[in-house]
Structure 1
Amino acid sequence: MSEDIIQKGDIRNFYGKKTGGKVNYSSLTHYYSKNIADSYSIKYVLKGNEEYIIDGKKHKVRKKQFLLVKPGQEVETFIEDKGVVEGMCIYFPSDLLEKEALKYNLDLYLLPEFPLLPAYSLLNDSLEKTIVDPDMFLERFVEGLAQFMAKNNCSLKAINAEKTTTKLDLWEKIEKARYYMIENLDKNLLLDNIASQACMSAYHFQRTFKAFNAISPSAYFLRQKMKKAKSLQSEEKFKLKDIAHQCGFDDVKYFRKCLKKYNN
């Protein structure tokens, strides 16, 4: 039960009658709550930043990141901003996730307790889907979440560490670096710069990142730049040199070569 709630802004709720889940969309400038979670939930930030303390550990969830909360955890939520912070919370019962976990061989004990960038598209047009049919959205979302987490379970095994807790700690570190890359696609970052976000040496970071993601940090960074370039091209309002600049390339000729290789 909630011990305290302070709210400035709007929250819209959509309930799944069959699943017993709930989705809320919030537009807030100030919010505080403290409670014990009675179900699984996903905190997904659409605009701005949200801060959480989960069982005593602080987490800052930035735009496009999500945080998974487990049943029984103590959750404090903080939102304080001059502008509007937009987000969504997806609540779903344990049995819904457990059913999908069996299907995809997901180990629920390996679920991460730190902010992540989602690698699936179920959240892209989720408001429209939720309004039309909350139950269908919740079922599809939880299935997608289970698939995503099961894939990460497999990737976690590739990290060279004996203890599971160490593997999870290393995953959290490389996830921080991955977010840093995504937020700085207009820059030409060096490996040392990226590794410093994970508080790791360049060698250890590169080795761990490649083990988990099956791609080197530099190749991943270039791929994300090309995805951004392709998206900008589709808007048909930027010159090639402007797109190159927005993707961190000074050499337009080399940029064109990279883009051609990516498109092929």
Structure 2
Amino acid sequence: MLEGWWKGSVFMMPEVDRMLREISAGALAHLALLQRNLLMLQEEDDFRAFLLGLQAALPGWPPILLARFEVDGDQKRLLAGIDLGWPAGWREVYEKHRWYEVDPVIRSPAGEAIVWSARLADPGYAPRGRNERRRYRHFLEECQRWNMGKGLTYIAERNDYRVLISLIGTEVEDDTYTRQLLSLLLPSLADAAGRALAQNIRMAKFSPRQKTIFDLIAREGLSQEAVAERLGISVATVKNQIRYMREAYGARTLAQLVHIVSARE
């Protein structure tokens, strides 16, 4: 009965038939409950609470990172949306060395659950150039030093960026139940992230001060003069910050900026 329900669901993925031959009925029942809860998520706080509950239920309490990877011309950025225990030092090293240029996980095709240890060991994903191969060997050494050699990632492709959901740990790879459950759940998590975090992710280019100004204008409907009074700054400062925000998003007017940032996916 559960198998029939799953095959008729809107979450049907290409690998489901294979997974159904391997996953237990109990895991499918657990998956159905999680999927139902995901449909109700609307805001970032709801999504964070869901991920915290999932994290607590999984063996080893694995760190979870929801991030957006975007390419703007020659500029590439990995922006965290929700960070639940990700090693801060690793993120700094990763950005400093631009590991995303050689990381086989983040460079993988979208739409599949990626097992880190298998992808890191796959020679087909190693860079071809001599300099890049040297960087890649350094990257693999750092993965081992930071205990970042095992985990699971799902990548969802959007028009101009990627959404990544990653979990660290031996258990998410080696525990059969956990790995199978996450392989089927992560695609729906990525879809829910697009709904719940669309505006927060779009605001990633804002500084903390700019986010505050934007919220006061877009959510509370304050005028620029009222924003300046609320924050104890000059109107000129507010206008300058709005100009910086418009330039960052290619918006000609404040109204266009609000539309770009506030639009839901």
Q: TM-score range by the shorter chain?
A: under 0.3
TM-score (norm 2): 0.24
If asked which structure has higher relative contact order (CA below 8 Å, sep 6+), I would say 2
Give 1 or 2: higher strand fraction.
Answer: 1
